[in-house]
Amino acid sequence: MGLASPARGRPRRPRGPHPLGVAPSGDIVDALAGAGARCWADKGYRGAGGTVRVPYWGRWETLSTGQQAHNRSHAKIRALVEQAVAGLKSWRLLHKLRCATTRITGLVQAVLTLHLASSDR
C-alpha cells in the first residue's frame, strides 16, 4: 500500500528507518571503533562518532576548498566500495555459497581485493 503524494497524487514509497536507528544503541559503531576499522559512510550517519567518516554537509559552493577536497576523496572511496558490492550482488555469489559461515568473510575479502586491484585506481 503506497502513500498518496499531495502534489501529484501518485503513490510514493514510505521511507525506511534511519540507519542509526536500526543499530541498537550504536553497537555497530562501537564494534568498528573497537576493531580500529575506519568506515566511510554517507551523510545519514552524521553524528555517529567513532571511526565513522562522513562527508561535509552543505552546498558545494559554500564549502571551503579543503572540505571540497575531503568530499571528493570520500566519494571516490565510497564509489569503489559501491561498485565492488554491486559486483558481488550481480554475480549472486553470496546466494550460491555452500560453505561454513566462518569462511565467507575471507572469500568476500578476496573478491573485493581483486576488484580493487583491477579497478586501476
Residue ranges of domains in the chain: 1-54, 68-121
Under 8 Å CB-to-CB from 80, ≥6 apart: which residues?
Answer: 116, 119, 121
Region 47-70: mean pLDDT is 88
Is the Cα torsion angle 54, 48, 20, 11 positive or negative in sign? negative
31: phi then psi, degrees, rounded to nearest 5: -65, -40
DSSP track, 96-121: H--S-HHHHHHHHHHHHHHHHHHTT-
Q: How confident is the model at residue 71 (pLDDT cuts 50, 70, 90)?
A: very high
Q: Is the pLDDT of residue 10 over 70?
A: no
Strand partners, 40: 53
Mean of per-residue pLDDT scores for the chain: 75
56 and 72 Cβ atoms separated by less than 8 Å: no
Percentage with pLDDT > 90 across the chain? 12
27 and 43 Cβ atoms separated by less than 8 Å: no
30 and 23 Cβ atoms separated by less than 8 Å: no
Amino acid of residue 49? G
3 and 12 Cβ atoms separated by less than 8 Å: yes
Residue scoring higher pLDDT (4 or 98) = 98
Percentage with pLDDT > 70 across the chain? 77
